[in-house]
Amino acid sequence: MSSYQAPINDMTFNLFDVWQLDSYWQSNSQLQELIETDTAKAILEEAAKICEQQIAPFAAEADQRGAQLADGKVSLPEHYHTAYQSLVDGGWTGLSGDPRYGGMGMPKALSMMVDEMMCSADIAFSLYPGLTAGACVALLQHADEATKQTYLPKLYSGEWSGTMCLTESHAGSDLGIMRTTAKANDDGSYALNGSKIFITAGEHELTSNIIHLVLAKLPDAPAGSRGISLFLVPKFLLDNSGEPAERNNVSVGSIEHKMGINGSATCVLNFDNAKGFLIGQPHRGLSCMFTMMNYERLSMGSQGLGAAERAYQNALAYSKERLQGRVTLKDPSKAEPILVHADVRRMLLNIKAINEAGRSFATWVASLLDRAKYDECELSAQRANLLTPITKAFMTDQGFEACVSAQQVFGGHGYVKEWGMEQLVRDVRIAQIYEGTNGIQAADFMLRKVAADNGAVLCSLLTDISQQIGQQPNAISAALQQKIEQLQQLTQQLLQQSQAEQSAAACDFLALVSYVLYGYMWYKNLVALDADKHSADFIASKQLTAKWYQHKVLPKTAGLIAQLSGDSSSLFNLSEQQF
């Protein structure tokens, strides 16, 4: 069975040394009354206890038992109820919620670290509070005040939970062809009819009500995605006192039997004249829902990092205990721990280098979101928007690769259930798929985030990074400066190409930008090291891992640059019959 210990030291290093967010919190009038260093550390420590003691030890049991449907009701692993109640009792379900409606108001940079812990503990379990948090973000930004007053306090408290209902059997990424309809009722509500598939946490009994955010089309809707509206459809309609009463006409058609995240109830939901309430303006629902989807895409990054962190911890522990082979020949009569083998060290160091850069990257993106929110900083908002598809796609690609590599460290034991590694591989695989596949994220990054503004936000960011490196050089600076210059040149070349050529380059381009930005994360880690604050082992570990990234990971950019500069005409010239 795999174990887990939250990497609090590295988390606090990122918060207070790499990004110095304690200083930012104290300089912001909205945050200074809510959060400071000791409070943040206490929050991380308490979250770690729940994840380490109440969730992580039972993840394998939840995977084996799974979510089960019987007589229209979905039952979950028993310990999910206990763990969820602990979240409710501690106020964790409203950690980053708006204090005006009962939330704790913590900054995203802190709550994202709690998200990582939850995902390390059990990705399937993390989805129940995670979807609710995303629904709250959408309602906070787009619902009217009466709706906020009615629903947000119950969602923040964890008494109720939330979902998002987008996908239909024939309409995945092409939401414009959805068939779910909404017709106005005489009382101002709407009657929704249709079916949605792949609805995470669509039915369960962890909470007394489930608030579904549903995309549907009004009778006068324009064709395509511009004709989609957003509706709030509760599992139970509310009585005059705002409490769940009559069951709404929302039912479970089935639950999916999946490769992983088996403890998550992934449902087919049927809406048969279900009563719903319009959120935002008619025909503007997709933009409202994207508020939630962008939040969830950041959570996908936490899933990739969380699974990779647990995989690394267990592979490292196994490599110290498993005796195989004789390398150092200190005692030829005795086998040695496999950690002495170069290939095992290679796999572990690759994971460590990516994980620690990923944690810095996630903290950076979250801090940009905080500055965009609390300072109304447009530049921070633009940069967070630019980096969101990287957070979703690159962090989940790397998370899956890390879990596979960690499984490899275990050899045959990694392939059997009792060690827990195969579950991590299965569970994290979905993160590359849902909330928009990573191919879609790459296309979004290339076409909408870079080409749409002729590279303005990306080039501005790279220029700022280059200036930082020039003003305060360290061991990785020269190599990183060279890669930034190459990236800037290649970006200009891509901007001159056709949209079809840019689409063909999208996945490689996202990876290239990601590896360069992860190099910047290692630059920032080295800058933050302080002999007066950090142990000699901590400093040496960071320095050697940064050196590994510089010499063994960052050079992957050379191959990507060659691929991006290569001829992609075969992609367009091969006919359907020739594939």
CA 156 vs. chain centroid, Å, equals: 20
pLDDT computed for residue 495 by the predictor: 98
When pLDDT is averaged across residues 552-563 and rounded to a whole number, the result is: 98
CB-CB neighbours of 161 under 10 Å: 26
Confidence of residue 331 (pLDDT cuts 50, 70, 90): confident
CA 5 vs. chain centroid, Å, equals: 20
Residue type, 229: S
Pick left, alpha or beta for residue 198 (phi over 0 → left; psi -120 to 50 → alpha; otherwise beta): left
How far is it, in rounded angstroms, from Cα 300 to Cα 432? Answer: 8
| Domain boundaries along the sequence of the chain | 437-567
How far is it, in rounded angstroms, from Cα 154 to Cα 151? Answer: 6
- Say how many CA atoms lie within 13 Å of 119 toward its Cβ: 28
- Say how many CA atoms lie within 13 Å of 290 toward its Cβ: 12
Confidence of residue 333 (pLDDT cuts 50, 70, 90): confident
pLDDT computed for residue 353 by the predictor: 98
Phi, psi of 180 (to 5 degrees): -65, 130
Q: What is the dihedral of CA 97, 98, 101, 103, to 10 degrees?
A: 40
The 10s digit of each residue's pLDDT in 472-525 is 999 999 999 999 999 999 999 999 999 999 999 999 999 999 999 999 999 999
Relative to beta strand 209-216, strand 160-165 is parallel
Confidence of residue 326 (pLDDT cuts 50, 70, 90): confident
Q: Which residue has the tokens 């990004």?
A: 19
When pLDDT is averaged across residues 380-390 and rounded to a whole number, the result is: 96
When pLDDT is averaged across residues 287-304 and rounded to a whole number, the result is: 84
Relative to beta strand 266-279, strand 250-255 is antiparallel
The 10s digit of each residue's pLDDT in 191-222 is 999 999 999 999 999 999 999 999 999 999 98
DSSP 3-state of 163:
strand
When pLDDT is averaged across residues 345-350 and rounded to a whole number, the result is: 98
The Cα-based distances of 351 to 391, 394, 404, 415 in angstroms read 17, 14, 10, 19
pLDDT computed for residue 89 by the predictor: 96
CA 304 vs. chain centroid, Å, equals: 7
How would you label 459-483 residue by residue, b for 16+ Cβ within 10 Å and e otherwise?
Answer: bebbeebbeebeeeebebbebbbeb
Q: List alpha helices for 122-187, DSSP H.
A: 123-142, 145-157
pLDDT computed for residue 146 by the predictor: 97
How far is it, in rounded angstroms, from Cα 91 to Cα 387? Answer: 29
Percent of the chain clearing pLDDT 90 (strictly above) = 93
pLDDT computed for residue 34 by the predictor: 93
Confidence of residue 166 (pLDDT cuts 50, 70, 90): very high
Confidence of residue 83 (pLDDT cuts 50, 70, 90): very high
Confidence of residue 361 (pLDDT cuts 50, 70, 90): very high
**Residue of 52, 243, 435, 501 marked catalytic:** 435
Please check the confidence at residue 332 and state whether its pLDDT lies above 80. Answer: yes
Q: Can you give the pTM of this predicted structure?
A: 0.97
The Cα-based distances of 521 to 200, 361, 455 in angstroms read 33, 6, 21
- DSSP letters, 62-128, are HHHH--EEETTEEE--HHHHHHHHHHHHTTGGGTTS-GGGT-----HHHHHHHHHHHHHH-HHHHHH
DSSP 3-state of 231:
strand
Q: For residue 382, give both structure tokens.
A: 């633009």
Confidence of residue 172 (pLDDT cuts 50, 70, 90): confident
When pLDDT is averaged across residues 547-552 and rounded to a whole number, the result is: 98
pLDDT computed for residue 175 by the predictor: 78
- Say if CB 186 and CB 56 are below 8 A apart: no
Nearest CA to 427 among 306, 511, 317, 312? 306
Pick left, alpha or beta for residue 251 (phi over 0 → left; psi -120 to 50 → alpha; otherwise beta): beta
How far is it, in rounded angstroms, from Cα 243 to Cα 484? Answer: 56
Q: Is 418 a catalytic residue?
A: no
- Say if CB 267 and CB 203 are below 8 A apart: yes
When pLDDT is averaged across residues 183-195 and rounded to a whole number, the result is: 97
Phi, psi of 195 (to 5 degrees): -130, 140
The Cα-based distances of 116 to 11, 249, 485 in angstroms read 10, 35, 33
The 10s digit of each residue's pLDDT in 94-142 is 999 999 999 999 999 999 999 999 999 999 999 999 999 999 999 999 9
How would you label 90-109 residue by residue, b for 16+ Cβ within 10 Å and e otherwise?
Answer: bbbbbbbbbeebbbbbbbbb
The 10s digit of each residue's pLDDT in 425-464 is 999 999 999 999 999 999 999 999 999 999 999 999 999 9
Nearest CA to 363 among 127, 122, 132, 44? 44
Confidence of residue 36 (pLDDT cuts 50, 70, 90): very high
Instruction: Tally the residues of the chain.
Output: 579
Please check the confidence at residue 291 and state whether its pLDDT lies above 80. Answer: no
DSSP 3-state of 465:
helix
DSSP 3-state of 526:
helix
